[in-house]
Amino acid sequence: MTDKQYPFEISLAEWSWHKRLFGEAEPKMDHLDFITEAHALGIKAVEYVNIFFMDKAEDATYLAEMKKRADDLGIKSVLIMCDDEGHLGDPDAKQRARAVENHHKWIHAAKYLGCHSIRVNAYSEGSYDEQLKLAADGLRGISEYAAGHKMNVIVENHGGLSSDGNWLTSLMKAVDLPNCGTLPDFGNFPPETDPYEAVEMMMPYAKSVSAKSFDFDGDGNETKIDYRRMMKIVLDAGYEGYIGIEYEGERLSETEGIVATKKLLEKIRVEHTKS
C-alpha cells in the first residue's frame, strides 16, 4: 500500500527536536542534519523552524545544501514555521509593516525549498476587536505578497487570542484570501478551552495540521489528547494534507516521543484507510 492510498500523510515538525537543536540534550543536532535524522525514522516530509537557521534565509549556498539533502533522500519540505520577526498585529503601523516585510525572505526561502506555506503568528495588543483588525491588516499584507509567489500563509493557535477558535476563525473571514489559512495545533489551548471544538472551528481553513503530543500510555495512546477523536474531526473536514508530528513531552526522549507519535498516527491512518 502506498502513502497515496492513505487519507493523510505524516510530516515532522523540527520543534520536536528543539532540545537537541538548542544543545540542551544529547546528542546535539545541527539544523542541516534534521532532514537526515528524520529520514532515519522513516519520515518522508519535514516542517522547518526558522529560528534554527535564522541568519540563513537569504544564504543561497546554505539553502541549496538544505534542498540537496532533502532531494537526495526524497524528503518533502512542507513549510517553515516563522517566529521572532515582529508582530503582524502590532498597534504601531510602522512596526506592523516591518513585521510584514521581515517575513518576505521566509516566503522566498520556503518557495525555493519547495514548501507550500509559511506559518506565522497573529500576535497583537488591545481589545478583542482591535487585535482582530490589526492582525487582519498585517496578515492580509503578508498574504497578498505571498500570493505573488504562489505561497500560503497560515496561522497557528500559538498563544494569545490566536488560541481562541472564534477569534482565529473571525481573522480568517476578515482577511478573506484563498492563500491565507490556519494550522490547527492539537495542544496549544488554554485550560478553559475545549480543544476539540476549537480545532473543528479552524479546520475549514486548515492548510496543515500539527499533531502535538506529550506522553503515551502502555497501549501507545496519547495521555492528554484523544487522538482518534481529534483525527476524526480533521478527516471529517475533508482534510487530506500533512499531519505534522510535534512532540513536546518530558518523560520520553525527543526521538522516543517522535517515534511514539508516528506509530499512533500510523495506526489511526490504517483505521481510516478504505480497503
pLDDT at 104: 98
- Output the nine-digit C-alpha cell for 59: 544564504
Grid-cell match 500576535, residue found = 123
Contact 119, 106 (CB under 8 A): no
Global pTM?
Answer: 0.96
What residues does 182 pair with on adjacent strands? 155, 206
195-202 and 227-236 helices cross at what angle (nearest 10)? Answer: 20
pLDDT under 50 in the chain at which residues? 1-2, 275
Strand segments, DSSP code E, in 69-195 are 76-81, 117-120, 152-156, 180-183
pLDDT at 5: 80
| d(C-alpha 268, C-alpha 226), whole Å | 11
Contact 69, 35 (CB under 8 A): yes
> For the structural domain made of 3-271, what CATH number should be given?
3.20.20.150
Domain parsing of the chain, residue ranges: 3-271
φ, ψ of residue 226 to 5 degrees: the values are -80, 95
